[in-house]
Amino acid sequence: MACRLIVVLFAAIHFLSASSSSSSSSLGPASPYSPLSQPSLIRDATLLQTNARPPGCPPCPECFNCQLPKFNCKQFGTCSEYDGQCKCPVGFGGQDCGEPVCGSLADGDQRHVRQDNSTSCKCEEGWTGINCNVCENDQACAPLVPPFDHSTGRLTHPNSSPLSPSEHSNKSEAVCYKGGYTVKESYQMCNVTNRKILDMLPGRPPQASFTCNTAKQSCQFQFWIGYIESFYCTFDDCQQSVQVGYQGQPNITRNECKKMQCKCIPGRMLCGESGSVDISDFLSQEIKGPGKFSCSSDQGGCQFEEPAMNQLITDIFGDTSITLNCQAGECMHYTMVPGFTVPERPDNSKMVALSIALTAFFVAGASWMFWYCGRNRAHKYPAFYGKNRLNSAEQDALASHVPTDLHFSKITYSIHHSKPVLRQVSGKAKSGQLLAIMGASGAGKSSLLDILAKKSKSGFVAGDILVNDMQISNDQFKSLIGYVDQEDTLMSTLTVYEAVLCSAMLRLPKDMNLDAKKIRTLETLDELGILHLKDAFIGRSGRRSISGGEKRRVSIACELVTNPSILFLDEPTSGLDSFNAYNVVESLSQLAKNYQRTIILTIHQPQSNIVSLFDQLVLLGHGGRLIYSGAFEACHDYFAQIGHACPAGYNVADFLIDLTMKYRSSNPKTLTGPSHAQQRSIELHRDSGESGTYEPEGDETELLLRNSSEGSRTSKSTLQALRDRLTKPQDDASEDFSLLDHLVESYEASEISQSFDKDFQAVQQRGLVIGPGAGDPLYSYLIARGQDRVGFVQQFLILSSRAFKNLYRNPMLMLSHYLLAILLAGVCASLFHGVTLDIAGFQGRMGLFFFILALFGFSSLTAITIFSEERILFMRERSNNYYSPFSYFLSKTILDIFPLRILPPFILSCIIYYPVGLVPTLEQFWKFVLVLIAFNLVSFSLVLLISLVCEDVGVANL
């Protein structure tokens, strides 16, 4: 081309020179430098054009002509048969339609080709995309949309006259429709979202552009890498469809084309560029269609699918198709925007039937499970044959018991600034002995027992407590002892074996296997004589249960199973008849003697046969003052020495209690007869002797033989002394003085008290000299006892098992929750079935939702009793170091949440959801279920908080 221009230019110069010479010759004589004639110039120009070329000038290239085989129009553009030029699709330009154009669609044919291939075009305001075809707002579409002619009721033809500036700014009529549905001709710009494709092209984002035309039933597709086009495709015979979502479901727009054809741009990425694969043959030979391009309205997610292309994507990248995130835009008049299409309501009869079937199956399965678990069946017990049933290691863990002596001196206890509860109380309890703490009501027996057990007490506590001559820490001391409260607090739904086994599993060493703990439980039941009751339910008042004495022995077994060295019991005979009371105390006495345990108990008014089992006695008077502390067998002689001998045939325990209750009396030095208490006892025995006889039968004979003789005769001397006292004038009596002070002072001055003080000082001094050490048996025992018990997870599992047993063995609460949910769900489903999809139907469903939430809100009130019913049980078990509070709280909460707060909303949702016409999709169904469960859990949490703060159930209900 350059050579041709040079030749033509040279010829033109010669022609102009010749013309100039001709003019001058006509005006004057010829010049010696006259040029050649015109024919010669033409001849010379022709010669230069055909043969003469500047040295090194290459051959001129052939002009572009799409009619020639070597030229073609990209983007499947149309080749003009008149001038051999390409007619490019919208958004592309250049001779071969190979470059995107910039500006906007409103510029028409005046758009310029992109100059820099490294970026997308600089679009005008309101337009986007690599070739600026996608509108972003309504204002950008104003120049493309003709105004509406209200006189004709039609749109003004855009070619009738240029649009005025006012028409260009007409925002009310021009619309940039972004719904993805093609009305006439739509444009989309998409970013590829396949993760592996993005990873393979860092810094070079893969993109795709789509153009669809409904009149031609065709679409165009271009694939770009780093803003440079790699290949392009065309789709023919396309059909567009829209799936309108039902009640919140997304709308899906699909373009399905039967035919598809793709071509590569040579030298581009994926098409022969250095360092990349070449899929030119694959695109031209394999890609035939059908092709499908679909987009969802909820997330903007689109997919491009074609069988061969999908296979290629799967083989190379592992995805099923090309996934895209697209932005669509089409300019139109607002009257052309697609209207709302009412979606067809799906048939949900199958879902209704399935939900009812699943609910029925669940209820039947749950009922069977609760029946199976709740039936009273015998446990699988390990082999149990007499003593020494554990292996050597487990025997060492339990049989390494160290006999423990307890000395306490000058125990004083007062609450704030009130009168002292205990004053200078001393005593001792040795291993193999039973120490009884006696006194009238309010004398401080339970307070003394709590202090000796090192329970937390509010107030001031003073005094010394020595264990095997040493002072040990509270934690070490608590590992040595067991404590049985005055009232039995046992879980009524457990069997005797389960209650004791639960204590063993929580408190015995964690390295002790389960069978060993079971055997230890059976041993304990055998020691207390209740092994035959192992499968009996404990029960509660008003329902079938074991007797009171058996319950008391179960409570003792729960503490005894841990093999404590010292066992404290608060009023173990309270509320028991004489027979059961004797059996309990006799079991404790045998336990102390046979197993070298130290037993300390409080007792109010024991029978004479029970009193005979005591080894040591601490007698307290009013105000917690010590009247006697020492061997029980020596108390008779001691009180006789100070002038208060117990009458023959009289229960010494009753005598001592009556003695402590008599605060003021005559001076004992002037007494020649029995005191007022002795008179009362004589009258009681006289009355009982006149009441007739009773013939014992069977096992009661032995018990009655141990009791004092009911009709024993009073000695003559006692009767005479009483007669003399009754006939003695009142004014002869000496002045009154305090009998209680006399009893206290008498004990303090006695040899028993002084001997104890000397003994305690010696014990204390010996403990200070020796001190705890590795060679001390008790120290080693404490170290072993202090080893880890079961951890938090095991505590949680054990307590959860106990809570679950309590739940399914008392199933009325759980069944009422389920039955209420099923019944009300059925009623609501029948009332709201077939509600219309309009405002009235919406309001009706709102009422239904309010009713459902109210139902679960009020049903959460049952959470008030979760902890209130077991508050005392928890406090006592926690005080005895059974478990951590959080493990108990978590087990109770979870065992209430799952069966009572999660399953009822699920059951109700399965029954009610589809009949009332809610959105019939799995996703929306689970949203509905989870919202109900979340509301139920929030209500439950609030009620639970109130129940923990308010101890009284009535106050909590407010």
DSSP H helix total and E strand total for the chain? 33, 28
pLDDT at 648 over 50: yes
- What amino acid occupies position 379? H
Tokens representing residue 703 in the block? 């018990």
Structural contact between residues 899 and 807, judged by C-beta atoms closer than 8 angstroms: yes
Position 24 scores a pLDDT of: 40
- What amino acid occupies position 335? T
484, with CB counted inside 10 A (0-12, 13-18, 19+), is buried
Strand, helix or coil at 200?
A: helix
Q: CA 118 to CA 226: how far, in whole Å?
A: 7
The band of 442, judged by pLDDT with boundaries at 50, 70 and 90, is: confident
Q: What percent of the chain has pLDDT over 70?
A: 75
What mean pLDDT is predicted for residues 608-634?
Answer: 90
Q: CA 822 to CA 906: how far, in whole Å?
A: 10
Q: Which of 359-368, 414-423, 458-467 has the lowest mean pLDDT?
A: 359-368
Contacts of 795 (CB under 8 A, 6+ apart): 506, 883, 884, 887, 888
The band of 512, judged by pLDDT with boundaries at 50, 70 and 90, is: confident
How many residues can be counted in the chain?
Answer: 958
Average pLDDT value over all residues in the chain: 78
Structural contact between residues 58 and 6, judged by C-beta atoms closer than 8 angstroms: no
pLDDT: which is higher, 565 or 672? 565
The band of 729, judged by pLDDT with boundaries at 50, 70 and 90, is: very low
Q: CA 210 to CA 222: how far, in whole Å?
A: 7
Listed ranges 220-229, 244-253, 350-359, 391-400; the one with the highest mean pLDDT:
220-229
Position 722 scores a pLDDT of: 37
Strand, helix or coil at 796?
A: helix
Tens-digit pLDDT profile for residues 756-776:
989 888 888 887 766 554 445
Nearest residue to 743 (alpha-carbon basis) of 865, 853, 644, 624 = 644
The band of 905, judged by pLDDT with boundaries at 50, 70 and 90, is: very high
Q: Measure CA of the first residue to CA of the last residue in the chain; give whole Å.
A: 102
Position 646 scores a pLDDT of: 85
The band of 258, judged by pLDDT with boundaries at 50, 70 and 90, is: very high
Position 210 scores a pLDDT of: 93
Contacts of 697 (CB under 8 A, 6+ apart): none
pLDDT at 32 over 50: no
Position 349 scores a pLDDT of: 65
Tokens representing residue 800 in the block? 């959860």
Position 852 scores a pLDDT of: 93
What mean pLDDT is predicted for residues 927-955?
Answer: 88
Structural contact between residues 949 and 957, judged by C-beta atoms closer than 8 angstroms: no
Position 731 scores a pLDDT of: 42
Residue 514's alpha-carbon distances to 258, 405, 511, 575, 798, in angstroms, are: 72, 32, 9, 35, 12
Residue 594's alpha-carbon distances to 402, 403, 426, 459, 587, in angstroms, are: 14, 12, 26, 38, 10
- What amino acid occupies position 71? F
Tens-digit pLDDT profile for residues 549-589:
888 889 989 988 888 889 999 988 887 888 888 888 988 89
Tokens representing residue 491 in the block? 């879980």
Helix (H) or strand (E) holding 590: helix 578-595
pLDDT at 691 over 60: no
Strand, helix or coil at 423?
A: strand
Residue with tokens 């770009």: 224
For the chain, how big is the Rg over CA atoms in Å? Answer: 53
Position 247 scores a pLDDT of: 62
Helix (H) or strand (E) holding 79: strand 78-79
Helix (H) or strand (E) holding 664: strand 664-665
Q: CA 194 to CA 789: how far, in whole Å?
A: 54
The band of 18, judged by pLDDT with boundaries at 50, 70 and 90, is: very low
Structural contact between residues 560 and 401, judged by C-beta atoms closer than 8 angstroms: no
The band of 823, judged by pLDDT with boundaries at 50, 70 and 90, is: very high
The band of 690, judged by pLDDT with boundaries at 50, 70 and 90, is: very low
Position 665 scores a pLDDT of: 44
The band of 225, judged by pLDDT with boundaries at 50, 70 and 90, is: very high
Distance of CA 250 to the CA centre of its chain: 32
Position 29 scores a pLDDT of: 39
Position 396 scores a pLDDT of: 54
pLDDT at 953 over 80: no
∠ CA 421-424-425 to the nearest 5 degrees? Answer: 85
Position 628 scores a pLDDT of: 92
Tens-digit pLDDT profile for residues 164-186:
545 544 446 899 999 889 999 99
pLDDT: which is higher, 378 or 138? 138
Position 152 scores a pLDDT of: 58
Position 126 scores a pLDDT of: 92
Residue 640: CB atoms within 10 Å: 11
Nearest residue to 257 (alpha-carbon basis) of 331, 184, 307, 313 = 307
Position 71 scores a pLDDT of: 87
What phi, psi does 253 have (nearest 5°)? -100, 130
Nearest residue to 904 (alpha-carbon basis) of 858, 942, 956, 873 = 858
The band of 737, judged by pLDDT with boundaries at 50, 70 and 90, is: very low
The band of 472, judged by pLDDT with boundaries at 50, 70 and 90, is: confident
Position 394 scores a pLDDT of: 55
Q: What is the DSSP string of 808-856?
A: HTSTHHHHHHHHHHHHHHHHHHHHSTT--SSHHHHHHHHHHHHHHHHHH
The band of 53, judged by pLDDT with boundaries at 50, 70 and 90, is: low
Q: CA 599 to CA 589: how far, in whole Å?
A: 8
The band of 694, judged by pLDDT with boundaries at 50, 70 and 90, is: very low
Position 274 scores a pLDDT of: 87
pLDDT at 382 over 50: yes
Q: Which of 43-47, 278-282, 378-382 has the lowest mean pLDDT?
A: 43-47
pLDDT at 833 over 90: no
pLDDT at 231 over 80: yes
What mean pLDDT is predicted for residues 334-355?
Answer: 73
Position 683 scores a pLDDT of: 38
pLDDT at 370 over 90: no
Position 154 scores a pLDDT of: 58
Nearest residue to 571 (alpha-carbon basis) of 456, 436, 453 = 436
Strand, helix or coil at 496?
A: helix
